[in-house]
Structure 1
């Protein structure tokens, strides 16, 4: 089922929170010291645990280095001006995952969709570190369960979006529609119908078997619950678009807790130097070109392309595909939080996170505290590392550490690393 993405419009109104480009200086320095991805240009961070044969590397993947330029090229100020440079797009992935808080804070992951001007948000705990500008780009939010540290931040998102023409799609576990209705019921909305813009929220409660209950809430109608109906998602796929898919799995936290996977079906790389050689300009038209390729449109489909001289040229899709594009495997990211370690949940996590580029996985308890973790229905650091290895994840990011281990972050990361490197 395809869900249309919500679109944020207009800039924050006077009196709203600042929408600066980054997080606070203190948190930025924290992430810089820890080498964990948060709101910064590098989408993977510089210190994520990565499987590399039998060792763990904290360096970027080796294949990001540019190959030697073809013969006959020359070096200019901006690099090799006449050589195709596919590595540039390889360093500019569509999905930019960014942890919302430090590992002892509320769990949450924001995935910025490069060139799409929109974001996906996984869990709605403390959202204060996220700039308002980024939150206004969120069209889909995926909640694991409704414990406070995963859902309390909904109020901030609601306050930012209120009075704007925007659609927001929320997904959560069984009973989630009631949870969202309860949030709206906590406030008085007599003024909301007077706003010129309508903020529309669609909430969907997901069952383990793929069935779901969905309902709509509109600010124009005081967020009254309406349009309730039963729907079904095949193969756990919640969002299916040309550029990405999102699917879920149900885990056990004493209550249902949802894990998510977001991935590109494929990644379309654009060789800008080749476009330049063809006399074509870069611009928004490339987004439609990429989508045509992902749809599998025929080679003879005409494509209107702007020229560097300001004119428009019509070329067949096949020529552009052959001369200026390269289709490679897409990215995949998984988000796993608040689950017991059982044979069933381990199998579901391994299936959901199979071969992902990055697995963000909770690690609340140290490896020695297995019994306590089982009592609380959480994972240990060792279990998190082994699950990442079982799934064949390329990289793993542990987070959601229990406050009882304050001051032991380095040891906890080391335990995940050891289990990831040498799974038992």
Structure 2
């Protein structure tokens, strides 16, 4: 479970950075990846990355501003050329379906795979045996959502060494024990699952926010997240400008991470006025005065999602 940035700029592309798109790589968990927002030029960014659109399973759109959706029609129509024949689902606010249907129909784009467009207004958006995704409305000029991605708890590990000592060989009995079921051996001995299976391993949580000013929805959505992705369009000296344009500052993002008890904070969606990395480093320093475990998003940089309980002390 890893977060990978394809674009980190706000509003318009710049020479140094593309507009917003984030991939959540789930290669180990389900051999796919999910995408959050798809700004103009995202498919070009994908071509420069280790990602392949044939592995793209779901797209979650935070809001319908162009720097978050203008890359969708092109990416959807060209996905099949990268082996994307499996079904694909796109989630987002009302209006997304009309945007995509008009764009694809007028351009006579051929989409040779099953494409589902799911509009929502928050709540539980998706759930299966491995993950669930919830959304909440934020505070932006148009409806903008944040997404909380929760990995379901994983079963504990089977103590195979003890089972071998007891004479139980690998087979269906191992599977029953892993599922929490007790097993009776041929000689009548009962082996309790709780005696040979460790405690379940808690799932990880990632929160990815759309554009927003500070608002009450952020903290519940981010509560206890192992990794929080929060926009930081401006430095703190431009707080008034951030408020007027319905965006957040570095300090506001850091305060949200601290209040939510997040494990790590990754800042993204930077104004073009911060054109190079040296311009962004003061933003990082600002945020770290409030929340030390803060990182800067960078194009083509991978951020592993580490359980807070698994992080080394002092990290």
Do these two structures clear the TM 0.5 threshold for a shared fold by scoring above it?
Answer: yes
Specify whether residues 122 and 300 from structure 1 end up closer, same or farther in structure 2 by C-alpha distance, changes over 3 A only.
same
In the alignment, which of 41, 61, 75 is matched to residue 156 of structure 1? 75
Specify whether residues 170 and 394 from structure 1 end up closer, same or farther in structure 2 by C-alpha distance, changes over 3 A only.
same
**How far off its partner does 1:143 sit?**
0.4
Asked if 1:139 is matched to 2:38, the reply is no
Specify whether residues 272 and 169 from structure 1 end up closer, same or farther in structure 2 by C-alpha distance, changes over 3 A only.
farther
Aligned-partner Cα distance in 1 for 2:119–2:153: 29
Provide the secondary structure at the position in 2 that maps to 1:100. strand
Aligned-partner Cα distance in 1 for 2:143–2:100: 17
**Structure 2 match to 1:168:** 88
* Alpha carbons 2:227, 2:264 under 8 Å: kept: yes
In the alignment, which of 97, 111, 118 is matched to residue 204 of structure 1? 118
Aligned-partner Cα distance in 1 for 2:180–2:199: 16
**How far off its partner does 1:330 sit?**
1.1
Deviations 1:195-236 (Å, cap 9, x if unpaired)?
xxx4111112222xx5xxxxxxxxxxxxxxxxxxxxxxxxx1
Provide the secondary structure at the position in 2 that maps to 1:383. helix
* Alpha carbons 1:167, 1:199 under 8 Å: kept: yes
Structure 1 unpaired stretches of 5+: 1-94, 211-235, 303-317
Asked if 1:129 is matched to 2:45, the reply is yes
Specify whether residues 325 and 289 from structure 1 end up closer, same or farther in structure 2 by C-alpha distance, changes over 3 A only.
farther
**Structure 1 match to 2:283:** 412
* Alpha carbons 1:99, 1:109 under 8 Å: kept: yes
* Alpha carbons 2:183, 2:192 under 8 Å: kept: no
**How far off its partner does 1:157 sit?**
3.7
Provide the secondary structure at the position in 1 that maps to 2:87. strand
**How far off its partner does 1:186 sit?**
3.3
**How far off its partner does 1:360 sit?**
0.7
* Alpha carbons 1:174, 1:206 under 8 Å: kept: yes
Provide the secondary structure at the position in 2 that maps to 1:404. coil
Asked if 1:377 is matched to 2:242, the reply is no
Specify whether residues 253 and 289 from structure 1 end up closer, same or farther in structure 2 by C-alpha distance, changes over 3 A only.
farther
**How far off its partner does 1:374 sit?**
1.0
Provide the secondary structure at the position in 1 that maps to 2:2. strand
* Alpha carbons 2:23, 2:34 under 8 Å: kept: yes
Aligned-partner Cα distance in 1 for 2:161–2:231: 43
**How far off its partner does 1:133 sit?**
4.9
In the alignment, which of 260, 263, 288 is matched to residue 150 of structure 2? 263
* Alpha carbons 2:8, 2:270 under 8 Å: kept: no
In the alignment, which of 190, 198, 201 is matched to residue 328 of structure 1? 201
Asked if 1:240 is matched to 2:131, the reply is no
* Alpha carbons 1:248, 1:258 under 8 Å: kept: yes
Bigger relative contact order, structure 1 or 2, given CA contacts below 8 A and separation 6+? 2
Aligned-partner Cα distance in 1 for 2:279–2:248: 17
**Structure 1 match to 2:4:** 98
In the alignment, which of 86, 103, 107 is matched to residue 183 of structure 1? 103
Specify whether residues 301 and 257 from structure 1 end up closer, same or farther in structure 2 by C-alpha distance, changes over 3 A only.
farther
**How far off its partner does 1:260 sit?**
0.3
**Structure 1 match to 2:181:** 299
* Alpha carbons 1:247, 1:262 under 8 Å: kept: yes
Alignment of 1:16-27 (within 5 A): none
In the alignment, which of 241, 249, 268 is matched to residue 136 of structure 2? 249
**How far off its partner does 1:146 sit?**
2.0
Specify whether residues 132 and 405 from structure 1 end up closer, same or farther in structure 2 by C-alpha distance, changes over 3 A only.
closer
Aligned-partner Cα distance in 1 for 2:126–2:253: 27
Asked if 1:361 is matched to 2:248, the reply is no
Aligned-partner Cα distance in 2 for 1:124–1:153: 5
* Alpha carbons 1:274, 1:323 under 8 Å: kept: no
**How far off its partner does 1:254 sit?**
0.8
Specify whether residues 408 and 132 from structure 1 end up closer, same or farther in structure 2 by C-alpha distance, changes over 3 A only.
closer
Structure 2 unpaired stretches of 5+: 10-16, 185-190, 294-315
Aligned-partner Cα distance in 2 for 1:402–1:275: 58
Deviations 1:377-399 (Å, cap 9, x if unpaired)?
11011111111111111110111
